[in-house]
Chains A and B, each alone.
Chain A
Amino acid sequence: MNKRMYDKGKILSGLVIFVLIMAFPFGYNIIAKIVTGKAVAAPELILTEKAKAEKECVMSKTDMKSGHMQLLDEWRDHVVRNADRVYVNSKGKAFDMSLSNTCLDCHSNKAEFCDRCHNYASVSPYCWDCHIDNPKEEAKEATE
């Protein structure tokens, strides 16, 4: 058995690159922690007083967490194509199908509610291409 390694420099530098690529996610987070000075934590959502008082959203919390985008997509379709604005949830409660008027009525703090998870999961939903963040506030300012 031959014990000599051939093209040592090239092979080893290739393997170093391989190890660096593999270590990237681990190293990146260590560096990010040093730079930002805080450990990574899951996003904390802030509920407005109105949302707290309401207690339950249109669906259960777990369903909303994983399926709110689907619900919004269906709502949009219903409203735009069928002119049907009434959503009745599993408990029989009726809601107006509207992102701006229903969702954002309680969750008027987009930056502390919507954005926190969206940024954490690196999602950029196109809702905000058309909808303004805070329709109520905007209206208030306009009347003032």
Chain B
Amino acid sequence: MNKNYMFSLVAVIFLFLIAYVGVEAAGLQWLFGIAIPYVATIIFVVGFISRVMKWAYSPVPFRIPSTCGQQASLPWIRQATIDNPSTNGGVIVRMALEILLFRSLFRNMRFELKEGKFSYIWEKWLWLFALAFHWSFLVVLVRHLRFFTEPVPFFVRYLEFLDSVFRVEVLNEVVQVGLPGVFVSGIVLLAAVIFLFLRRIFITQVKYISLASDYFPLFLIMAIAFSGIMMRYFVKVDIVGVKEFTMGLVTFSPSVPEGIGSVFYVHVFLVSLLLAYFPFSKLMHLGGIFLSPTRNLANNSRAQRHVNPWNYPVHVHTYEEYEDEFREKMIEAGLPVEKES
């Protein structure tokens, strides 16, 4: 038991119930389906922009090489052009690999005392599951465009085709899964987010540094994935009704069609919460990764002068000026000068 994750878990269950009871008992579809999603989207966009703007006002005075390869040096020393780029092109490749493949996380290691020796252990699970999590989340997100566009664009349909390429079918007295076709991304998303949560519970060191703000989004995403999977495979909400509803939202003529299950409103409410919570949370690493100074700055300090933007304007007395001032005295004293008068 740990108050950080218990608090987050209770909060998410509570929010889940608020939406469920609000729709089921109080009939507040318009609140959970229309008002809150609009407000949440505005908070998300405005909050995201202002957070990035705030970062943009913080100077990055120095290049922070923190790299893992040879920097640009003498021509006969081979440079690690991606790990330690000195050009913009190299930086773009490094950033792309970072954003798309989480290259820094790939270097993740585990440290352990083994037979009294401190050892570094190759550890790729976090990288693998983080990659699975983020990519499946992206796929799920893009797939959801089918509810927000009419006609549905080709890339969404193509993605749906790829996503449902494994025809998983389970049919017995209790469950019927297979029609509608199983989307792998949703299941991978739920499995990966559960892994990311269990990692925080079972690895003592990680548990020690985990806070409620780490657990809360995990539980929230878990609840979103869970409610989505419930709707698609088990409770079976009226999908045409859902699309009528979401199309109303994106064309600014919202209405609440009859007969959509309450789980749908719970799903929408939790997604709205995630959006509204986003700019104030650690989830801002979506924007932040683009601004990571150790990744997005070329290591060219030896070739180019970078002036610290907050430097106080100090009056500098250069050697040339010094020599101009004391030339006669220096010559008199027999000191070498660069310019003879």
Interface residues of A (CB under 8 A from B): 2-8, 11, 14-15, 18-19, 22, 24-26, 28-29, 32-33, 36, 39-40, 42-43, 62, 65-67, 69-70, 72-74, 77, 117, 119-126
- Per the CB 8 Å criterion, the residue count for chain B at the interface is 51
The smallest C-beta distance from B294 to any residue of chain A, in angstroms, reads: 15
Residue of A nearest to B148 (CB): A25
Are B161 and A29 in contact, CB atoms less than 8 angstroms apart?
no
Set of chain A residues within 8 Å of B244, measured between Cβ atoms: 42
Are B57 and A5 in contact, CB atoms less than 8 angstroms apart?
yes
Cβ of B83 under 8 Å from chain A: no
Are B151 and A18 in contact, CB atoms less than 8 angstroms apart?
no
Residue of B nearest to A14 (CB): B290
The smallest C-beta distance from B244 to any residue of chain A, in angstroms, reads: 4
Closest 4 CB pairs of A and B: A25-B148, A122-B146, A122-B152, A69-B179
Set of chain B residues within 8 Å of A43, measured between Cβ atoms: 240
Known: A2-B59, A120-B150. 4 other contacts (CB 8 A): A43-B240, A67-B236, A74-B171, A74-B176
Binary CB contact string for chain B from 41 to 70 against chain A (1 if under 8 A, 0 otherwise): 100110011001100111110000000000
Of listed B44, B244, B250, B310, residue having the most chain A CB within 10 A: B250
Number of A-B contacts defined by CB within 8 Å: 117
Binary CB contact string for chain B from 226 to 257 against chain A (1 if under 8 A, 0 otherwise): 00000000001111110110010011100001
Are A29 and B247 in contact, CB atoms less than 8 angstroms apart?
yes
Set of chain A residues within 8 Å of B241, measured between Cβ atoms: 65
Set of chain B residues within 8 Å of A125, measured between Cβ atoms: 179-180
Are A66 and B52 in contact, CB atoms less than 8 angstroms apart?
no
CA distance A77 to B177 in the complex (A): 12
